[in-house]
Structure 1
Amino acid sequence: MKFVRTLTWIVITAVLVSFIAMNWVKVPVNFWPLDDGNYIHFQWPVGFVALFFFALGVIPVWLYFRAMRWRLNRRIASLENTLRASSMPAETAPAALAAEPTVETGTTTTASNPAPDA
Structure 2
Amino acid sequence: MQIIRTIVWVLVLVALLLFSLNNWETVSVKIWEGLILDTKLPVLVFASFLLGLLPMWLLHKGAKWRFNRRISALENSVRAASVTTPVAAPVPSPLDPVAADPAAPPPAGLP
Which has a greater percent of helix? 2
Q: 1:70 matched to which residue of 2?
A: 65
Within-5 A mapping of 1:21-36: 21-32=21-32, 34=33
The superposition leaves residues 67-114 of structure 1 with CA deviations (integer Å, 9 ceiling, x where unpaired) of 110110111011011011101241468xxxxxxxxxxxxxxxxxxxxx
Describe the SS at the equivalent of 2:80: helix
Unaligned runs of 5+ in 1: 94-118
Q: Which has the higher contact order (CA 8 A, sep 6+)?
A: 1
Q: Work out whether 1:61 is the aligned partner of 2:56.
A: yes
Aligned to 2:96: none
What's the counterpart of residue 4 of structure 2? 4
Q: Identity over the aligned pairs, expressed in percent?
A: 34
How big is each residue's C-alpha offset from its partner over 1:46-71, in whole Å with a ceiling of 9 and x where there is no partner?
00000000000001111110111011
- List runs of 5+ in structure 2 lacking aligned partners: 89-111
Name the residue aligned to 1:84: 79
> How does the TM-score come out when normalised to structure 1?
0.68
Query: TM-score under structure 2 normalisation?
Result: 0.72
Aligned length: 88
CA offsets, 1:1-60, max 9 Å, x none? 22212211111111112111221111111112x2xxxx5211100000000000000011
CA distance in 2, matches of 1:63, 1:18: 29
Alignment root-mean-square deviation, CA: 1.6
Give 1 or 2: higher strand fraction.
1
